[in-house]
Amino acid sequence: MNFSSKLLQHAVEEFGRLPGIGNKTALRLVLHLLKQSDQEVSRFTQAIDQLKEKIQYCQECYNISDEPICEICRSIKRDKSTICVVEDTRDVMAIENTNQYQGVYHVLGGLISPMDGIGPSDLKIEGLLERLRKGEVKEVILALSATMEGDTTIFYLYRKLREFDVEVSTIARGIAFGGELEYVDEITLGRSILTRVPYERNSSWK
Amino acid sequence: MNFSSKLLQHAVEEFGRLPGIGNKTALRLVLHLLKQSDQEVSRFTQAIDQLKEKIQYCQECYNISDEPICEICRSIKRDKSTICVVEDTRDVMAIENTNQYQGVYHVLGGLISPMDGIGPSDLKIEGLLERLRKGEVKEVILALSATMEGDTTIFYLYRKLREFDVEVSTIARGIAFGGELEYVDEITLGRSILTRVPYERNSSWK
C-alpha cells in the first residue's frame, strides 16, 4: 500500500499485527478511529494501556482477575475438590455460560505447541501440580481443544497427574447437538462409536 | 459475556466499538495483546495516539498528510487542471495503485448520508469550490461509490459544479473485468447497454 502519511502507515501496520486483521481491515479501523473524537480515541488506547498495566492473574487458578484471588476461587459455593484445566480465560467464560459446572478452574495460559515454541515450562503446569500436592483435589477434568496441541497437552498432563491420587477425565468428544451424521468427519464418528455411552447417561429425557 | 475482570471487560468493549469487530473477536484481540510484551502493547497504543494527535490534512486536497501540502499536490508532474473527487484516503490509494491517473485529488471526507446525519456541510465541498474559483481547473472527475450515498453526493456536487466553467465527469460504471454477464445485476447490465462505448475506446487491443 502507498500511504500518504508515515503516521497513518505506522498505525495501520500496528493494527495489522493483530490476529485475523489484514492490511485493508487495519486501514478501515484506523480511519474509523480518526473520525472519532479525541476523547473516544484516548478512551480506547487508555483501556488497553490500563489493562496491560494493571492486569492480575488469580494466584490460585491463574485466570484473569482484578483481585489476587478470583471470584470463582473465593466462592464458598464452588467445589474445590474438582479442577477443570483449560487453555485460557475464554474457555472459563464458555464453561461458566453452560451453568453445568460447580468446581474450580486452572488456566494453563496456552497449549504445548512445539511449532510455536511453546513448551510445558511456558504453561502454568507447576502451579497445577502445587495445588494437587495439597491433597484436597479428587478429580481433574482436562477441558482442552480437540486439536493436535490440545491432545499433546492432555498426554503430557496425564503422565504428570498419574503420580497423584486423583481421577483424571477429559470432556466428552463426539457429535455436537444438532449435528447430522452424514456431515460428521470420520475420526469423530469412529471415536463416538468406540466411546459410546449407555442411553440413560446421554439422554436429556430423564 | 461474563468477564472475570472489569479491566478486561472495558478493553473488550472498546475494541467491540470498532466497525466489523464483534464481542468474540474483540476478546480474541485483547487476549492477544495481553500476551505481547509491554513494549509491543505501548507501541500499538502510541501509534494510535500519535496518529490522532499529529495527523494533518493537506490544505489543498484534504488528503491525510504529514505535511501542510501533500506529496501529490506538491508534485510538478501532476496535472493541476484535473481534480478527482473521492470519499476518503483509501480511494486515493486505490486510484494511485492503478497508475492511470496523473491529475490531483480532492478528498471529501465522507458522503452525504441523511441516515447517518451527514449533510453537505460536513464534507469538504466548500474547499473544492474554492479551488475551482481560482479558475485553473478544467475537469472534475467524480469518483464516488456506486451506492445511494455516492449517487446523492454526485447529484449535489453536479448542481454546485454547473456554476463553474469545468467539465464534470463520473467514472465509468459497468461490468467489471472478468465479470460474467449472467451474474451481473439487472441495473448494472441495463445501464451498461445504455452507456455503451465504441469498441475502439473500451478495447485493450490497440
Q: How many beta-carbon contacts under 8 Å exist across A and B?
A: 156
Best of A49, A51, A104 to disrupt the B interface (most B CBs within 10 Å) is: A51
* Location of C-alpha cell 489476587: A68
Tell me what pLDDT residue B14 has.
95
- Helices A38-54 and B23-35 pack at an angle, to 10 degrees, of 50
Residue A63 DSSP SS3: coil
Question: Which chain A residues touch B71 with a CB distance below 8 Å?
Answer: 4
Q: What is the mean predicted confidence (pLDDT) over B90-97?
A: 91
Residues B90/B64, Cβ–Cβ less than 8 Å: no
Strands A139-142 and B56-57: unpaired
| Predicted local distance difference test score (pLDDT) of residue B63 | 94
For residue A3, the model assigns a pLDDT of 85
* Bridge partners of residue B84, in order along the sequence: B105, B141
Q: Which residues of B175-200 are buried (b: 16+ CB within 10 A; e: fewer)?
A: eeeeeeeeeeeeeebeebeeeeeeee
Asked if the Cβ–Cβ distance from A33 to B43 is below 8 Å, we say no
Q: Under a CB-based contact definition with an 8 Å cutoff, are residues A170 and A154 in contact? A: yes
- Distance, in Å, from the CA atom of A28 to the CA atom of A38, rounded to the nearest integer, reads 18
Query: Is pLDDT above 60 for B206?
Result: no
* Residue B143 distance to chain A (closest CA, Å): 19
State the CB neighbour count (10 A cutoff) for residue A190. 11
Read off the DSSP letter of residue B182. Answer: G
Mean pLDDT across chain B, nearest whole number?
A: 90
Q: Do the beta carbons of residue A95 and residue A86 sit within 8 Å?
A: yes
Contact A51 B10 (CB under 8 A): yes
Residue reference for cell 490460585: A60
The C-alpha R_g of chain A, in whole angstroms, comes to 22
Residue B83 has which C-alpha cell?
A: 481534480
| CA pair distance B111, B91, nearest whole angstrom | 13
Which pLDDT belongs to residue A204? Answer: 59
C-alpha cell belonging to residue A179: 449435528
Q: What residue spans define the domains of chain B? A: 6-54, 79-171, 175-206
Say yes or no: A116 contacts chain B, CB-CB below 8 A: no
B148-171 tens-digit pLDDT: 999 999 999 999 999 999 999 988
Given a cut of 70, is residue A205 above it in pLDDT?
no
The closest CB to that of B7, out of A4, A55, A70, belongs to A55
B2 SS3 class: coil
End-to-end Cα, chain B, rounded Å = 61
B99 touches chain A (CB under 8 A): no
Provide the pLDDT for residue B202: 63
> pLDDT tier at A86 (50, 70, 90 boundaries)?
very high
Q: How far apart are CA A143 and CA A140, in angstroms?
A: 9
d(CA B35, CA B39): 12
C-alpha cell at A49: 494501556
Q: What is the C-alpha to C-alpha distance for residues A60 and A26, in angstroms, rounded to an integer? A: 37
User: Could you read off the pLDDT of A135-170 as tens digits, one per residue?
Assistant: 899 999 999 998 899 999 999 999 999 999 999 998
* Closest alpha carbon within chain A to B40: A14
Nearest-Cα distance to chain A for B142, in Å, is 21
Most confident of B55-59, B169-173, B196-200: B55-59
Which CATH architecture group holds B79-171? 3-Layer(aba) Sandwich (3.40)
> Which grid cell is B38?
509491554
Of A2, A32, A90, the CB nearest to B18: A32
Element (H, E) at B186: helix B186-194
Judge if A6-54 and A64-199 fold alike in CATH terms.
Answer: no
CATH fold of the domain at B6-54: Helicase, Ruva Protein; domain 3 (1.10.8)
Is pLDDT at B75 greater than 90 in this prediction? yes
In chain A, which residue ranges form alpha helices assigned H by DSSP? 6-16, 23-35, 38-54, 71-74, 89-98, 125-133, 148-161, 186-194, 199-202
Is B118 an 8 Å CB contact of chain A? no
Instruction: Give me the CATH code for the A64-199 domain, please.
Output: 3.40.1360.10
Helix (H, G, I), strand (E, B) or coil at B19: coil
Burial of A84 (0-12, 13-18, 19+ CB in 10 A): buried
Task: Answer whether A9 touches B (CB < 8 Å).
Answer: no
Amino acid residing at B12: V
**Which residues lie closer than 8 Å to A71 by C-beta, 6 or more apart?**
A65, B4
The interface residues of chain A toward chain B in range 12-71, judged by CB-CB distance below 8 A, are: 13-15, 17-21, 25, 27-34, 38, 41-45, 47-52, 54-56, 58, 63-66, 70-71
